[in-house]
Amino acid sequence: MLALVAGLLLFLGAHSLAIALPEKRAALISQWGEQKWKALVGIVSIAGFVLLVWGYGEARMEPVWLWQSPVWTRHLAALLMLPSMILLVATYVPGTHIKARIGHPMLLATKIWALAHLFANGTLADLLLFGSFLGWAVLGFIIHRRRDRAAGTTYPAVSASRDAIAVVVGLVLYGAFAGKLHVLLMGVSPFGT
């Protein structure tokens, strides 16, 4: 469990400077240069990710159950992952109406992903992993939206075709995860089969 907690601290910590200390982050980028900053954040993120995956895998070997989720919550989680995947893809497709409306689709995708997995899983490790990501994404979304409003930042939409691309690629990604990738990467079928 210690590896999971350390991984969460490193991974979410590396991704929290823009949320918690934007001026300090900007000063460090100015001092070190953008490439060195990205390299450092990348190394810390990868180390954190490796630790949290390893720690979560270890914790799954001897789970500490906090609650037993009903079987139907797996199907609810699978359903919630549909918009999560579309929002994830919309983060990387410039000029979507989705990004124009939401502003930070990655954070919303993370919130939905974490909440879906909390519904379907009930161990202490699940609560730590998905609860931490949910709290981080909620806080990040609120702070970034406030900053956008204060600065008058907008995300212009180019065309509906960009949204169509995000939806289609998101559905393909969802199909890949639901069909094979979740089992290959996580060892668990999202539908319990």
Question: What is the tens place of the pLDDT at every residue in 138-188?
Answer: 999 999 999 999 999 999 999 999 999 999 999 999 999 998 998 888 888
Structure tokens at 85: 């995947």
Same domain, 45 and 90: no
Buried b / exposed e over 7-21, threshold 16 CB at 10 Å, is bbebbbebbbbebee
Structure tokens at 39: 């390299």
Instruction: Return the pLDDT at 193.
Output: 57
pLDDT higher than threshold 80 for residue 192: no
Same domain, 110 and 31: no
> 191 falls in which pLDDT band (50, 70, 90)?
confident
Helix orientation angle between 2-14 and 34-61, rounded to the nearest 10 degrees? 150
CA dist 181 and 190 (Å) reads 10
User: In 33-178, where does DSSP find H-type helix?
Assistant: 34-61, 72-92, 97-102, 105-120, 124-151, 160-176
Instruction: Return the pLDDT at 20.
Output: 87
Same domain, 168 and 98: yes
For residue range 55-105, list pLDDT tens digits in order: 999 999 999 999 999 999 999 999 999 999 999 999 999 999 999 999 999
pTM over 0.85: yes
Same domain, 12 and 69: no
Domain-ending residue, one of 36, 62, 88: 62
Same domain, 37 and 118: no
Same domain, 146 and 174: yes
Same domain, 24 and 78: no
Same domain, 130 and 192: yes
CB 124 within 8 A of CB 8: no
Domain-ending residue, one of 11, 31, 62: 62
Domain-ending residue, one of 43, 62, 81: 62
Same domain, 162 and 137: yes
Helix orientation angle between 2-14 and 124-151, rounded to the nearest 10 degrees? 10
Same domain, 1 and 83: no
Range of the domain at 131: 65-193
Instruction: Return the pLDDT at 6.
Output: 97
Same domain, 122 and 34: no
Same domain, 143 and 53: no
Number of structural domains in the chain: 2
